[in-house]
Each structure stands twice: as structure tokens, then as C-alpha cells.
Homo-oligomer: A and B are copies of this chain.
Amino acid sequence: MLNRVRSAVAHLVSSGGAPPPRPKSPDLSNAPSAQPAVPAEAPRSPPARAGSGSSAPAKTVEARASFSRPTFLQLSPGGLRRADDHAGRAVQSPPDTGRRLPWSTGYAEVINAGKSRHNEDQACCEVVYVEGRRSVSGVPREPSRGQGLCFYYWGLFDGHAGGGAAEMASRLLHRHIREQLKDLSCWSSQKEVTHESLVVGAIENAFQFMDEQMARERRGHQVEGGCCALVVVYLLGKVYVANAGDSRAIIVRNGEIIPMSREFTPETERQRLQLLGFLKPELLGGEFTHLEFPRRIQPKELGQRMLYRDQNMTGWAYKKIELEDLRFPLVCGEGKKARVMATIGVTRGLGDHNLKVCSSTLPIKPFLSCFPEVRVYDLTQYEHCPDDVLVLGTDGLWDVTSDCEVAATVDRVLSAYEPNDPSRYTALAQALVLGARGTPRDRGWRLPNNKLGSGDDISVFVIPLGGPGSYS
């Protein structure tokens, strides 16, 4: 077993361990069913072997698979083919003609360089109306009292091991948020509980309910794999940025960078993962150790003193090597190669309910958390100009572009357009995607400095915080 784990090859095995069903809300049940893309190998994600260990053979999955891009791109069949072309990697944006995205939001995306058959990123941008719920005490409110409210919503979903989870999340997560926000209408000020903390709680619970729905419906809808989710909710003057995964959001305001998310990886979440392995050793199946060492321990080092870190430590100290320290480390690898149980490189996200350690019944899911971190930005506390933007990107952008480089591109592109030109934000999104993709040259896609561009799917939202996209 250990040798096979060491080879860091894992696969998907379908399992029947779904949690008991929750009652579905009616407006969620008639949502379109998500259909899977054909899974293939992807960095930072478990290599998918479609059908291996599953009752459905690969060909059946293939036959059912369909490829879709965000509806707001309004792609024709020909456009859809171009968006799916790994060789050309044409940048896609909503058409200049027709209805703009809310707030004149800019958007651009490009498919990967061949690491998976389809673009496994998905995106969503909506204005969502929330009807008030019946009051808490059970007495129905009169509809005429106008208990409803609206929120603006943007979501980026970076799928792995197939596009099914990302597509399902892009169609449904905002509906879960809407469902949770219905309670806002019957809220009256209570000790300690602010309006803001209710919106945060609503988003947190929506992620959980979305994840539970994926667990329930994964068989029927072939939702294999999982996805990172980065969403923005604007409600009553405040921007809520919720992140579960390794996408990133920053605000660029007057040239200054304000981080609005942090990435959740085996390295940034080491202590949480180690604590879980320590408190629930059965999750490690006798195959893994929750301790971290600077390198793999060799059997000949038994009894020697070696540096280690446990779930409580941020520093390093020495311990005497014991037999169980020879087990494979729960967290191993560095940077983009860091993995949990040699299997997956992100530690937050939706889906992945079938994911197991290779040739093992050990589930990865308890280490993967669906809960986002939510940061709040009060738009009313600052007078924003048309050049102030919130930039959301999947890791395809951030793998090769620093925050400062993004801020420089924001300045360069926006200053080339009139402040009231609504197309400037799409031009900026395109420039960011192009800058991360590079151009095709000998041996791959290259940046101007001749470094490799991102071979990953790249998706970017540029949300203006002031100026033409009035949100009052």
C-alpha cells in the first residue's frame, strides 16, 4: 500500500457513503442537472481515472459528457468549439453587443493548454432577488409588506477531476445563498448578532448545503470531482468575498492592493489537517503520520533525533524517531506540489465526495472542508473612483502573476480608456488572461520574459467598485 501511496497516484472510487438527505427547497430541485466533463489529469488535483473502480465504464461517462461555458458568454456552436480549442487558446469574453454584465463587470477566460479535455473553470454573474421567508414564529407575513431584497453575485469555480462539480456549483450556489438569505427578512436586531454576521452565516451555510447537495445527487448527475469556489456577494453597501480553495480576490484601490482572500492549501492549512489526523487517527488508517518532518524519514534513522512539527507548533523541534514516524506524511511536498495524503493539492472546496486515497478505502473528504473564509469590505467607507476594482482569478492567473503585476495592469489598461467607457473592464480582464497565458512559441506558451505561461484554465472577473457601474 505504502509504495503505491508514495507514487502519489490516486483515483476516484465511487462510494455509497452519502450523508442522509436534507429536505430540498423546491426552487433548487428544478435546477438544470450538471453534466460532467470527461476527467483527465490535472496539477494540484487528483488525477482522475474515469470509471476505474466505478460501476459506469469510461465510455458511458464519455457519452453523457457535454461541454458548457457560462451562459453570459452567449457562445454560438462555433464559438463554443473555439473556446474548447487547446491549440488556439482564444480568450473568451461576453460580446460587446447586447446586455452587459451588472456593474459593467469585465470577464475573460481561456482554456488550458491540454491538461484536461475541457475548460474545468466555470463562472456565474447574476442579480438575485430574495423573497422574504415566513416569519420565524410561523405566522406568515403579508406579501404586500415588501420583505424582499436583491443581491449582486459573482462566482468563479475551478474544477478538478472533471468539470461536473464546478458546473453544478455555478448553477446552484447562488440559489443556496438566496435560500439562506430569506431569513434576513425576519431578523430584528439581537445582542451580538449584526446584520453583517447574518449575511456571513448565510454564505457559510450555503456552501455547506451546496456540498451536501453534491453528495446526495452525485450519482444521478454524474457529479464527480470537485471544485474551488470564490464568490462575491454585494448586499446593502457591503461586499462579501467568500473563498474555499486556491483562487484569489484582491481589491486594487488607488493603486493600493487590499487582499480579499487567502488560499487554502496543504501548506497554509497544515495545522488544521494535522489536528484532524491527531484527534481522529482512524482517518489516517495506520498508513499516514500526522507529524511533519523536513524530509521523508528513512528506516535506518530509527532512534535518531530529527526535526518535526505537530498540530500545535509553528516552529520546529527535535524528537527521537519511532516506528510510526516512518509512515507517509499526511501533508507532503512544497508549493504547488504540496498534497494531502499524496492525493490533492487544495484543502477547501465543494464536491470530491468520491475521492479516496489510491487503492484504499481512506476518504480524503474529511480533510477537505467545504467552508469558505468570508471577508467583508464596506463600500460606503471610501469614495471609489472608476479605476478601483475587485479582481477575481482562478489559480491559472495567480500561478504566474503577482498581486503587484495585476495592479500594474489595472493601471496600464484602465488609463488607456475613458473612465466612463464600460468596455474597459472587459479589456482589463482580457489583458490579465492574456498576460498569464502568454503566446505560443517553441516548447509551449511563453510570457514576454520567456518564462512559461500558465497551462491551466484561466478565468478572471474585474468588478468596478465605483464609476459607471452604479450599484445604488
Q: Which of B136, B199, B202, B369 contacts A305 (CB 8 A)?
A: B136
Residue of B nearest to A276 (CB): B279
A42 is an interface residue with CB less than 8 A from chain B? no
Q: How far is the CA of A192 from the CA of B335 in the complex (A)?
A: 12
What sequence of 0s and 1s flags, for each residue 178-205 of chain A, a beta carbon within 8 Å of any chain B beta carbon? Answer: 0010010000001111001111111111
A290 is an interface residue with CB less than 8 A from chain B? no
Q: How far is the CB of A45 from chain B (nearest CB, A)?
A: 23
Given A280-B279, A307-B190 in contact, is the A204-B136 Cβ separation under 8 Å?
Answer: no
Q: How far is the CA of A279 from the CA of B311 in the complex (A)?
A: 15
A472 is an interface residue with CB less than 8 A from chain B? no
Residue of B nearest to A193 (CB): B316
What sequence of 0s and 1s flags, for each residue 104-134 of chain A, a beta carbon within 8 Å of any chain B beta carbon? Answer: 0000000000000000000000000000000
Given A191-B294, A294-B192 in contact, is the A317-B180 Cβ separation under 8 Å?
Answer: yes
A374 is an interface residue with CB less than 8 A from chain B? yes
Task: Tell me the residues in window 260-287 of chain A with beta carbons closer than 8 Å to chain B beta carbons.
Answer: 275-276, 279-280
A402 is an interface residue with CB less than 8 A from chain B? no
Q: How far is the CA of A312 from the CA of B208 in the complex (A)?
A: 10
In the complex this chain forms, how many copies of it are found?
A: 2
Q: How far is the CA of A163 from the CA of B317 in the complex (A)?
A: 30
Q: Report yes or no: A315 in contact with B198, Cβ–Cβ below 8 A.
A: yes
Q: Report yes or no: A198 in contact with B316, Cβ–Cβ below 8 A.
A: yes
Q: How far is the CA of A138 from the CA of B275 in the complex (A)?
A: 32
Q: How far is the CB of A168 from chain B (nearest CB, A)?
A: 21
Given A204-B317, A279-B279, A317-B202 in contact, is the A369-B312 Cβ separation under 8 Å?
Answer: yes
Q: How far is the CA of A136 from the CA of B319 in the complex (A)?
A: 10
A309 is an interface residue with CB less than 8 A from chain B? yes
Q: Which of B197, B275, B314 contacts A374 (CB 8 A)?
A: B314
Residues from chain B with Cβ under 8 Å of A276 in the complex? 279
Which residues of A pack against B, CB within 8 Å? 136-138, 180, 183, 190-193, 196-205, 208, 275-276, 279-280, 294-295, 304-305, 307, 309, 312-318, 334, 369, 371, 374
Identify 9 residue pairs between A and B in the complex whose beta-carbon atoms are under 8 Å apart, listed by A's number. Answer: A136-B305, A180-B317, A183-B317, A193-B294, A197-B316, A200-B313, A204-B315, A208-B312, A276-B279
The 10 closest A-B pairs by CB, nearest first: A200-B315, A201-B315, A201-B317, A312-B371, A201-B316, A197-B315, A205-B317, A279-B279, A183-B318, A136-B305
